[in-house]
Structure 1
Amino acid sequence: MDLNTVTSIARPRSRGQLPRWNSGDAWLAGGTWLFSEPQAHLTRLIDLADLRWPALTVTDSELLIAATCTVAELDALPCPPDWIAAPLINSCCRAFLASFKIWKTATVGGNLCLSLPAGPMISLTAALEGICTIWQPDGQRASVSVADFITGDQRNVLAEGDLLRGIAIPLAALRRRSAFRQISLTPVGRSAALLIGAVKDDGLLLTVTAATVRPIQLRFTAMPDASGLRDAILKAIPESLYHDDLHGKPAWRQQMTLRLAEEIRAELSVVRP
């Protein structure tokens, strides 16, 4: 869609060249949502392409995902054998309600910043205990977990002029046994519930997304039994946090959350040699 109110495009090549943020500005990365509907309030786009951030960087302790990394680049990442949670990457990429053409343009950072409950990059990076780095307009930077970055349906912690730089995933999270469950009302529909569980320190880290307006994480120091897990979910997630739209009503999303969580618990309770 043409954005006919935009009168200028800035193309910074470094952080120092980022222009002063004004009302009517928008960051441009993949643009798959930005160009999908009218944006009559916009007058300038700040194109991030010339910053040329490396899409993916592996250090001794972290996988660094640039905000401008595309879904296709993340899906194609070659993962070492000890990253036993790596299948989560491919599963979450395929949870997009999008074609392969969108994969090549849509960015991980854009999915987080749009902050839709069903954003699968939110599900992935929250479950892997990702930490967001935010560039602030005064030259400072802030760090916040992905689970805390999202505050509600299409809401997050970004203030005016803040720029999501990237997400750091601890390699320890990629080396955990994990389980993935997702359900939609239709075979290729938007996720109505997407849950990821991981064995952490002999306990369970359960991340609930899509069913809720923001990511909810439950941490257990030991693997819970079925009733303990159910009670914890009912206590941690009130009805007001379940998302309500045409892709699923809150009562149904709650039941799917309870069902999928128990499937994850049962799978991860099996001790493998």
Structure 2
Amino acid sequence: MDLNTITEVVRPRTRAELPAWQAGDAWLAGGTWLFSEPQARLSRLIDLSDLAWTPLGISDQGLCIAATCSVAALDGLSCPAEWVAAPLIDQCCRAFLASFKIWKTATVGGNLCMSLPAGPMISLLAALEGVCTIWKSDGGEQRVPVADFVTGNNSNVLAPGDLLRQIDIPLAALKRRGAFRQIALTPVGRSGALLIGTSGRDGDLLLTVTGSTIKPQQLRFASMPDATTLRAGLLVEIPDASYHDDVHGKPAWRKAMTLRLAEEIRAELADFRP
């Protein structure tokens, strides 16, 4: 869709060249949402492509994902053999309600910044204990866990002029065993619930609940809980008001699916013996 209110496009090449933020500005990365509907309030786009951030970086510390990395590039990453959690990347990329053409353009950071309950990059990066680096509009930096970055349906911690720079995933999280569950009302529908569990060699459990809730919810257990303990934890930690309500699923259904999928994940990870 043409954005006929845009009067200027700025293409900075370094952070120092980023213009002062003003009313009517928008960051442009993949643009898959930006160009999908009218944006009458916008007058200037700040195109991030010339910053030329390296999309993906593997190091001894783990994985660094630039906010401008495309979903297709992330899905195509060749992961080290010791990254036991790597299959979660493929599973979350395929949880998108999008065509392959969108995959090639949509960015990982854009999915986080849209902050929709069904955002599968939110699910993946929260489950892998990712940490966001934010370039603040005043020139500083802020680091925020992905699980805390999203604060509600289509809301997050970014202030006007803040820019998500990258997401860092620690090596320890990538070496954890993972289990993935997703459900939607229709075969190719938006996720009504998307849950991921990870477990380390000591048998602990980190359960990440997304899709069904308005923001990520995480439960940590020092050892693998039994079914009763897990269910009780979910009922206490996720109040009914936290379940999302839209055409893709009512809160009562999302809650029921969360409880069901969480138990499936627990049972799968509990059966694993290193």
Same fold (TM over 0.5): yes
Q: TM-score range by the shorter chain?
A: over 0.9
Match of 1:236 in 2: 237
- Aligned AA for 2:191? S
CA contact (8 A) 2:193 2:258 kept: yes
Provide the rounded CA distance (Å) in 2 between the counterparts of 1:107 and 1:243.
24
- Aligned AA for 1:236? E
In structure 1, the residue corresponding to 2:209 is in which secondary structure? strand
Residue 139 of structure 1, CA deviation:
1.0
In structure 2, the residue corresponding to 1:197 is in which secondary structure? strand
Match of 2:93 in 1: 93
CA contact (8 A) 2:25 2:43 kept: yes
Provide the rounded CA distance (Å) in 2 between the counterparts of 1:190 and 1:137.
33
CA contact (8 A) 2:153 2:214 kept: yes
Please list every run of 5 or more consecutive structure 1 residues that lacks an aligned counterpart in the other structure: none
Provide the rounded CA distance (Å) in 1 between the counterparts of 2:96 and 2:79.
21
In structure 2, the residue corresponding to 1:223 is in which secondary structure? coil
Query: Normalising by structure 2, what TM-score?
Result: 0.99
Provide the rounded CA distance (Å) in 1 between the counterparts of 2:149 and 2:199.
23
Query: Is 2:50 the partner of 1:50?
Result: yes
Match of 2:140 in 1: 140
Residue 202 of structure 1, CA deviation:
2.2
> For residues 19-38 of structure 1, what are the structure 2 equivalents within 5 Å?
19-38=19-38
Please list every run of 5 or more consecutive structure 2 residues that lacks an aligned counterpart in the other structure: none
Q: Deviations over 1:136-172 (max 9, x none)?
A: 1111000000000000000000001000001000111
Q: Deviations over 1:171-218 (max 9, x none)?
A: 111111110000000001100000000113421000000000000000
Across the aligned residues of Structure 1 and Structure 2, the Cα RMSD in angstroms comes to 0.6
Match of 2:224 in 1: 223
Provide the rounded CA distance (Å) in 2 between the counterparts of 1:221 and 1:108.
30
> For residues 262-273 of structure 1, what are the structure 2 equivalents within 5 Å?
262-273=263-274
Provide the rounded CA distance (Å) in 1 between the counterparts of 2:80 and 2:61.
14
Q: Deviations over 1:28-85 (max 9, x none)?
A: 0000000000100000000000000000001111200000000000000001111111
Provide the rounded CA distance (Å) in 2 between the counterparts of 1:94 and 1:266.
23
In structure 1, the residue corresponding to 2:105 is in which secondary structure? coil
Residue 271 of structure 1, CA deviation:
3.1
Segments of 4+ moved more than 6 angstroms: none
